[in-house]
Amino acid sequence: MQPLVRDNIRLAATVMLLRDTPGGLEVYMVQRPGRGDFPDLHVFPGGKVDEDDWAPQHCFGIDDQQASARLGVAAGGLRYWVAVARECFEECGVLIVHQNGRPLDLSETRIRSKFVDYRQQLLAGEISFSSLCRKENLTVACDMLAYFSHWITPPVVPRRFDTRFFLAALPDHQIALADTDETADDQWEKPAEALARSASRQWQMIDPTLRSLETLSQFSTVSQALSQVKQGDHLMPLTPELNRQGMQALR
């Protein structure tokens, strides 16, 4: 498997949560606080791949051989799917999982409150995501995650990340609520509107975010986005300029 860190480049994963609205498709975005990695930027939720993310026993819908083939790595690709699910829960409070083989149902207040407590324990380092999966018989719903793109931070940046981007629909009976320690703001936005906020300098965004929004702006519904992304023909051509910005081939 790839090392988690090599030559100052850390493996990372990002998720673009989507939902349908009467006005069209929206994507969930957060604003990083004015400290740490990417200060003040508007980004999609995500973070570093951890040791604990190697948890093939807690995955449904894809095995490591299939996941690694999709990413073009020898082994360990499934870690990204687990990292996305974990980061999504930590940063957004959204669980892309099955429980006892069925989509997790958070419609009951009692169940929802229990998982709110689990999220706080996870953020405090009191439990791990894999231990939560064992305790509640959860499996990462890998079939609900579509691999979207691959970016490596250019060499001019001091702290670099090798990041895989994924798409997911907001599950039924769940809401996205940002972790206030990790983010300064959060909101759902239409991709074209987010691009307009960047153009008017209301929001700061980096190239991977901008290029992703440009692709998402071509879709009118979540199902259309997921279908085309799973087919793998959604990305703009990889040009030398995009490669200099950090864009990599899908696999």
- In 10 A of CB 33, how many CB atoms? 15
Q: Is 251 a domain residue?
A: no
Q: Is 250 a domain residue?
A: no
Position 35 scores a pLDDT of 60
- In 10 A of CB 144, how many CB atoms? 20
Q: What residue has token string 């995501």?
A: 129
- In 10 A of CB 65, how many CB atoms? 11
Q: Is 224 a domain residue?
A: yes
Q: Is 187 a domain residue?
A: yes
Q: Is 158 a domain residue?
A: yes
Q: pLDDT of 115-153, one tens digit each?
A: 999 999 999 999 999 999 999 999 999 999 999 999 999
Are 21 and 98 within 8 A, CB to CB? no
Q: pLDDT of 233-245, one tens digit each?
A: 898 899 999 999 9
- Which residue range forms the structural domain that includes residue 12? 5-245
Q: pLDDT of 110-119, one tens digit each?
A: 999 999 999 9
- Domain of 59, CATH number, reads 3.90.79.10
| Radius of gyration from C-alpha coordinates of the chain | 17
**Structural domain count, the chain:** 1
This prediction has a pTM of 0.94
C-alpha distance across the termini of the chain, in Å? 15
Q: Is 196 a domain residue?
A: yes
